[in-house]
Structure 1
């Protein structure tokens, strides 16, 4: 189980922000993916006075497209999902199930990786 929790803050100027709280010590290892591709230039800044880390995720221009784009945030140490955020562009999408399907795909991919790792470790 991850020692990290994520609290979303806002998205502004193409940068999504959230707060990372941890029960452990050291620098949190965070991975952000979009369509199974790691997002580069993710920044973590420690706020010692408040006891949390500021997570800043720059949205790559090629990830901004029509439809639903889901970004999955994981604890890179144990590959456990700690959060996600979604960008919807194009036509107004009311009760769009596509965001849920994309999130389920990302979670299924994460489960497949964990299962394969488990099979390798136990064989």
Structure 2
């Protein structure tokens, strides 16, 4: 079998959905903390040969404060096809996105101060 390509399409009503391009019907599994999830569905896409619709229901009992990562992999080869992360609960102070937002805010402040300084020194 050639390489499989999995593309996320959306997460809706607690179900992750994607399109998998493969030559033959794949067998995939989704792991959370190294345990497989139940209810993973792979169905042929009747509108396009070689495409399969993947749906992964995310159980509510797996969601808790913090970051939860789900890994989608091919059972036959063990290759990782994709992963998705769900962040819930209070914002994490050490989260990299929070740090990037803080850096952006500081950079905007510095740009304004620099522009003001340039205008003041020109006259």
TM-score by length of 1: 0.71
1:49 aligns with 47
Runs of 4+ in structure 1 deviating by more than 6 angstroms, as ranges, are none
**1:33/1:2 Cα in 2 relative to 1: closer, same or farther (>3 Å)?**
farther
Q: Answer yes or no: is 1:87 the counterpart of 2:86.
A: yes
Instruction: Tell me, in whole angstroms, the C-alpha distance in 2 between the residues paired with 1:48 and 1:75.
Output: 22
Gaps (5+ residues) in structure 2? 97-123
* Structure 1 vs Structure 2 CA RMSD: 1.9
**C-alpha displacement at 1:2, in angstroms?**
6.1
TM-score by length of 2: 0.71
2:66 aligns with 67
Instruction: Tell me, in whole angstroms, the C-alpha distance in 2 between the residues paired with 1:45 and 1:93.
Output: 37
Gaps (5+ residues) in structure 1? 98-123
Aligned length: 95
Q: Deviations over 1:76-113 (max 9, x none)?
A: 1100001000000012247725xxxxxxxxxxxxxxxx
Q: Deviations over 1:50-79 (max 9, x none)?
A: 231110000012111100000000011100
**1:20/1:92 Cα in 2 relative to 1: closer, same or farther (>3 Å)?**
same
**C-alpha displacement at 1:3, in angstroms?**
2.3
Q: What SS does the aligned partner of 1:62 have?
A: helix
Q: Deviations over 1:13-51 (max 9, x none)?
A: 1101011001x22x2110100001100010111113223
**1:36/1:2 Cα in 2 relative to 1: closer, same or farther (>3 Å)?**
farther
Q: What SS does the aligned partner of 2:61 have?
A: helix
